[in-house]
Structures are given as structure tokens and as C-alpha cells.
Amino acid sequence: MSARPAASTTATAVESADPCCAAPLPVLGRDVTVPLVTGGEVTYAALDYAASAPALQRVWDDVAAYAPYYGSVHRGAGYLSQLSTDLFENSRETVAEFLDCRPGDQIVFTRSTTDSLNLLAQVIPADCEVFVFETEHHASLLPWRDARVTYLNAPRTPQQAVETLERALADRDPYGPALVCVTGASNVTGELWPVRELAAAAHAHGARIVLDAAQLAPHHPVSVRELDVDWIAFSGHKLYAPFGSGVLAGRADWLQESEPYLAGGGASKKVARRADGGVDVEWHTTAARHEAGSPNVIGVYSIASACKALTEAGFDSLVERERHLIAKVRAGLAEVPEVRVLSLFGDDAPRVGVISFVVDGWNSSHFAAALSAEYGIGVRDGLFCAHPLVRTLLGSDPQDPGECGAPEAEPGERSLNAIRVSFGAGTPDEHVDRFVRAVRELVTQGAKWQYRTESGRCVPAV
């Protein structure tokens, strides 16, 4: 097409407080102010990136530039439809480059990581056995409802993870098709998993492996080829593109051989009536086979925009800056004896900007509410959709009642939940500095306000 929406060039990072590190990337909402219960307003410190990261300003600008040109894709004869089709399919190529996919790999656009893994669960062979560690996010732990599943205990070292998987795969009976599902970075501890070694173990025992890269892709470069995984799943909303799209990328054979994830227009290549009154359907063998219905073009384009923005910013500098922030937070929390940081692999394990902790004498929901109401800091409390892992880290009995959101316990009473702080490419130093200071003040001085439970949340008492 001769005319296209102008791509944004808004890639200039805001000023860094540390000259040794790259500046944070501009994100939408970086200047939003929120009220404090103690009076006044403060710039909001978004430290819940592991749930949903703010949109990169670059992504927002690209989407805004394209929006007037939005049209239906693939079969429209009009100019906007053809332009949108080009943009949609070019986005597929951009994602393939971002993930360093192999020739022949398919890029299927979904709604999220959860949707991607549920799709994969529908296409695995009928006699396939799935192996998954109890440490996984529920998006990886739960989709395999129609398969035989072996749940592996939480390892305490990366090497133990590899050895545990090798034993389980070698002992499987019958020795048939198998799939391993593993995270690249924990959404609870932020610790990096030995993906390449786990992939080697899987392939050595005739199994395939899918990587949940929801927490890895926003922080580190991810290469299908280098990691030698069969599939990768991730979400746009954690990759600074919160517009409702996700990705499943990888080998085409199981995808081509299965029934479509959803039946409908777009997935079908040819539909004809039979003489007996029924209907014959020929399904696409491309990624369209599992993309029935009108796709989320804007969501897909936003993912492609984020992939380009992160690549152009350079992961080396992004990783260096994140390590700087991680060191600040961990050092600050270490100075507060009442804080216990949760970890599987130990203090020296490499990690992304995701840290969970508990505070002696505090209900975690109460602590998170005070961070928000008194300091303008947004973190998360609960079990983080990884209940078995958090229970293991907290040393609780499997039958102990867990708490997501505000428990019925009084503020200050211990409960089975934790606090998670998470950050990334758009986080300025001031946000983590304020967080560390707030933790110290809350522990040493207590909350300045009274709190109560309302509709499942701990909120300030008016």
C-alpha cells in the first residue's frame, strides 16, 4: 500500500538517576498523580509490572497513529482492509524475528499466555503425558485437563530441577508422547529457570517443551533457537502492550494436525454442503487454523510495536538497568529484619524484577493497602495465581486456607499470602527508592491510618 500510519519515533528515554545505567523507557501514565489518605497527592509508583506492565509510550503512539486506518483483515477489498491485513501479517513476522523462530515455526495470535497454553492443551496428541512443576503460574499448571499430568515437586536448585525432570521423563509409563511446560522466570520470585538445560533433558527423553515466557520476554531476550524449545507463549499486557493479545509460537505439526481451537470464519478454508445434508469443512493449515473470528488487530500491532521498541532500546542496557533496580530493592529489604524475601534458588540466583516477601507481624493485604494509600505505591498481595508455589515458600500445609485479596483476618494478623513488588523498563529510580523507604517506615513506625476489609479488599477506613 502506498500510504501507512506514521510509526512513532518516541523512543527517547527519560532521564536516569544513575549515570551507569540506561534511563527508563517512557511509559504511559508516568506522570499520573494519586491522592494520599494523609493528604496531598504524589506521582503514582507503578510497581506491579508482573501483573500488567504500563504501555510503552512508543506503543501507544503507534496504536494511535494506526487507529484511523483500522479495518477488517484478510478478505476486505477496501484500502483500509488491505492496509490492516498487511500490518497484521507484518506483525507476525516482527514477532517471529523478536523470538528468533525457526523456519517453519508458526506464530498464532491469541488473547494471552493463558489462552496460548489452553490452545496448546487442545492440540497435544491424545496419549500425550504432560509434566509440569508445582511452581508454575496457574496458566501453565491448569490447562491440561484432558491429559495425563505429572506434577513435579518444587526444586531448590536449577540443577535439581533438571534432575527431577530427567527422572520423571525416564520413568514414564507408557513411554509415549510427552510435553514439558516450564516458566522462564517465576512470577513469584523472579528467579530464572534453566530453560536450555530443561529443553535438552526433554528432547533427550523424546519429549517436547513449551516455555511460558510471560515474565521472561519483557526482561530478557528470548530465542527459540538458542533455548531449543518447541513452543513459546507470552502475553502483550506484560510486554508493555496491554491491548488484549498474546502469542503462541513454535512447531507447526501438532497445530496443523489437530482440530481448530475455535471453529468459525477465518479458520475455515472451504465449507460445502454434502449430498446427505451435512457440511464438509477444509481447515487452514496456517496459523489461521487457530485464529477463528475477527482478530484483535490493534492488540497484535501493539505487540509488534513493543517487540520493536525493546529491540531498538537494546536488551543489554535494559537488563543492566533492571539489575541496578533489583540490587536497590534487595539491599533495602535486607536492612529490615522483619522482612523475609521468598526464594527457591537462593539469594545469588539470577532473576528479573519480581520480588515477593512477607513482613513479620503484618497481614500482607494490610501492608499492601498502606503502601498504596499512604505512599502512592501500587504492589500486589495474595498468592499471585501460583498457589502451590507460594504455599511451599511459606511452609504452609496444603490444606491451610490461602488468601487472595484481603483476608478476614484483622490488620496486623498473619495470613497465608505475600506481597509482590515488580518493575521493568519503565521504572524510575525514585519509585523503588520510595518503596524501600515506605517499607522501612511502615515496619518501624506502623501505618498512619486505620484499615478494614471491604468486598474482599483491605481499604482505608474512612
Active site residues: 385
Range list of β-strands (E), 126-200: 129-133, 148-152, 178-183
Strand partners of residue 108? 248
Q: Half-sphere exposure of 209 toward its Cβ, with a 13 Å CA cutoff? A: 29
Q: Which amino acid is located at 69 in the chain?
A: Y
Q: Half-sphere exposure of 275 toward its Cβ, with a 13 Å CA cutoff? A: 0
Nearest CA to 92 among 224, 315, 247, 292?
A: 247
Q: How far apart are CA 6 and CA 414, in angstroms?
A: 53
Strand partners of residue 381? 419
| Cell numbers linked to 379 | 504492589
**DSSP string computed for 304-348:** HHHHHHHHHH-HHHHHHHHHHHHHHHHHHHHT-TTEEE--SS-TT
Q: How far apart are CA 349 and CA 355, in angstroms?
A: 12
Q: How many CB atoms lie within 10 A of CB 188?
A: 26
- Cβ atoms of residues 420 and 429 within 8 Å: no
Q: How far apart are CA 302 and CA 310, in angstroms?
A: 12
Q: How many CB atoms lie within 10 A of CB 256?
A: 16
Q: How many residues does the chain have?
A: 462
How would you write 284-299 as a 3-class SS string? CCCHHHHCCCCCCHHH
Phi, psi of 328 (to 5 degrees): -60, -50
Range list of β-strands (E), 40-158: 41-43, 45-46, 106-110, 129-133, 148-152
| DSSP structure class, residue 6 | P
